[in-house]
Amino acid sequence: MPNTPLTVVRSKSGLRDAIANIHYSGQRVGFVPTMGALHNGHLSLIDLARTKSDFVAASIFVNPTQFAPGEDFETYPRDEDADLEKLASAGCNLVYLPTVEDMYPTGSLTDVRVPGPSDLLDGVYRPHFFYGVTTVVARLFIHVRPDVAVFGEKDFQQLQIIRQMTRDLGFEIEIVGGPTQRDPDGLAQSSRNRYLSDDQRRIAGALQAALVRAAARIEAGTALSTALAEARAFLRTAGFDKVDYISAVDATTLRDLPETRSEWPDITRLLGAAWIGKTRLIDNIPLTGA
């Protein structure tokens, strides 16, 4: 695709004028928030946003409030020049690179929290995480004023929590989930994959394999708790150092499924999080329903 002129906006005030003009001309604004270090997964979200809107805006902001002390905020990969090139070749129209002061003005006190789903699964292991995500995404929604926003299904829990927040706060924004992009061995594409050494990278594809095997075992009638325990054991045998969870949940509430299948909702999901060395990988696949 030919390079689209990409407007780079580095302040909230500059963004306000650019977006006002787009809305004034009657165009529908699509939005893809990111933390940069862009890969094909992000670019597929830009493609999807383009099919749902007339003008695609992305943001790049490594959000400090979703990292706990000791996590990788300082070392999180940052490569602005490469990111801008990728956005331009993907046909993105505008990128917003706010400052910390734009997102969290001095003296700022307001958090946006979705208690309940934010405290399950990843929320058990990273209790601050979703509170930081919903706070920054709500602020980005207010700055960008999109009609549609696209988030990757790779971060399925994040996507469902953002859907809930959008409903609760009455944002008139359509939330769309984009399919996970995978490497040939099944590893879900993620900015953090670049932390993996070659040896670790060879192991990493086992996370999706564990979920796919568990789904097949459950489909074949194996008890849920047995299939989930087998998946954890499979990961340890494959070389993962620690498994935070492998869980089968209601895709809407993110609550664990009961053992009795007749009590399951129509749409369910299998999610997992596990460590190779210092790198934590997450993934998920549908179990039943969409």
Catalytic residue ranges: 42
Distance of CA 190 to the CA centre of its chain: 9
Q: Which distant-in-sequence residues (6+ apart) come within 8 Å of 120 by Cβ?
A: 157, 249, 254, 255
The answer to whether the beta carbons of residues 190 and 154 sit under 8 Å apart is yes
Cα separation of 261 and 243, whole Å? Answer: 25
Interaction between residue 34 and ligand PAF (CB under 6 A)? yes
Residue 137 or 273 having the CB closest to ligand PAF: 137
Residue 177 or 205 having the CB closest to ligand PAF: 177
- For 45, the token pair is 């979200």
- For 36, the token pair is 């940069």
Please, what is the minimum distance in Å from the beta carbon of residue 65 to ligand PAF? 9
Q: Which of residues 99-138 bind ligand PAF (CB under 6 A)?
A: 133, 136-137
Please, what is the minimum distance in Å from the beta carbon of residue 264 to ligand PAF? 28
Please, what is the minimum distance in Å from the beta carbon of residue 39 to ligand PAF? 11
The answer to whether the beta carbons of residues 204 and 178 sit under 8 Å apart is no
Interaction between residue 9 and ligand PAF (CB under 6 A)? no
The answer to whether the beta carbons of residues 210 and 227 sit under 8 Å apart is no
Q: Which of residues 156-185 bind ligand PAF (CB under 6 A)?
A: 158
Please, what is the minimum distance in Å from the beta carbon of residue 216 to ligand PAF? 29
Residue 136 or 207 having the CB closest to ligand PAF: 136
Which of 44, 53, 63, 164: binder of ligand PAF (CB under 6 A)? 63
Number of residues that bind ligand PAF (CB under 6 A): 10
Residue 120 or 137 having the CB closest to ligand PAF: 137
Which of 147, 153, 155, 283: binder of ligand PAF (CB under 6 A)? 155
The answer to whether the beta carbons of residues 186 and 161 sit under 8 Å apart is no
The answer to whether the beta carbons of residues 46 and 58 sit under 8 Å apart is yes
Interaction between residue 35 and ligand PAF (CB under 6 A)? yes
Residue 156 or 234 having the CB closest to ligand PAF: 156
DSSP letters for 114-170: -TTGGGSTHHHHSTTHHHHHHHHHHHHHHHH--SEEEEEGGGHHHHHHHHHHHHHHT
Please, what is the minimum distance in Å from the beta carbon of residue 87 to ligand PAF? 14
Q: Is 161 exposed, middle or buried (CB count within 10 Å of its CB: 0-12, 13-18, 19+)?
A: buried
Interaction between residue 38 and ligand PAF (CB under 6 A)? no
Which of 12, 15, 22, 33: binder of ligand PAF (CB under 6 A)? 33
Contact positions vs ligand PAF (CB under 6 A):
33-35, 63, 66, 133, 136-137, 155, 158
